Amino acid sequence: MEHRAVSHRARTLAAAAALAACALLAACSLLAPKFEKPTLSIENIALERGDLFSQRLLVHMRVQNPNDRELPVKGLSYTLYINGEEAAHGVSDKSFIVPALGEAEFDMHVTANMAGTVLGLLARGGGAPDRIDYRVAGKVELSSGFMRSIPFDRRGTFSLR
C-alpha cells in the first residue's frame, strides 16, 4: 500500500512539474518581444573572375534590422533561383553586428552561372522573356540569442524591358 502511495505521489509531482513547465513556456512567449525579419538588399556587384560557364562575384550587401535588439550575425548563405533553376549561390562567414533599429553592410562571395541561366531562358522558346521570376532563399546564422538561425525566402519578378 505504501508503494502505491509513493507511485501516486510521483505521478502527481510529475504532472505538476509538466504543468509548471507549460505555464513557464507560455509566460515566456507572452513576454518575448515580437521579432521581425531583417531586410537584405544588394548595394554593389563586382566581378572578381569568370568565364562563360562560371562567374565569381563580390556582392556588397546591406541588412536593415527593424527590431529593438541588435543582431549578432555569424554568417549568411543563400541560393538564387531564376525561373525555378538555380542560378547562383553565396556565403559569407564574416561576423558583424546589426544594431537595433539600424543597418550594417557586408561583402559576400557569390558563384554564378549567368550564361547557363540566359541560355536556359532562351531555350524555353519565344526569344527573350519580358518578365523573369526569381526566388532567393537562405538563412542568417546568429552567434547568440534565443534564435540561432533566421531563414528567409523571397519571391518576385522583374522586367527585362
Whole-number pLDDT of residue 20: 45
Domain boundaries, the chain: 1-32, 39-159
Whole-number pLDDT of residue 161: 63
Does residue 143 contact residue 137 with C-beta atoms inside 8 Å? Answer: no
Is the CATH number 2.60.40.10 carried by domain 39-159?
yes
Which helix H or strand E contains 13, and what residues bound it? Answer: helix 2-31
Whole-number pLDDT of residue 104: 93
Q: Residue 45 — very low, low, confident or very high, per pLDDT cuts 50/70/90?
A: confident
Whole-model pTM over 0.85: no
Q: Diameter of the chain by CA atoms?
A: 86
Residue 19 has pLDDT above 50, yes or no: no
79 forms beta bridges with 89, 137
Pairing of strands 55-64, 39-50: antiparallel
Which whole number is the average pLDDT over 139-151?
81
Residue 74 has pLDDT above 80, yes or no: yes
Whole-number pLDDT of residue 117: 67
Whole-number pLDDT of residue 23: 46
C-alpha distance from residue 156 to each of 24, 44, 55, 76, 134 (Å): 41, 20, 23, 21, 5
Residue of higher predicted confidence among 55 and 17: 55
- Sign of the Cα pseudo-torsion (62, 67, 72, 76, in order): negative
Does residue 114 contact residue 87 with C-beta atoms inside 8 Å? Answer: yes
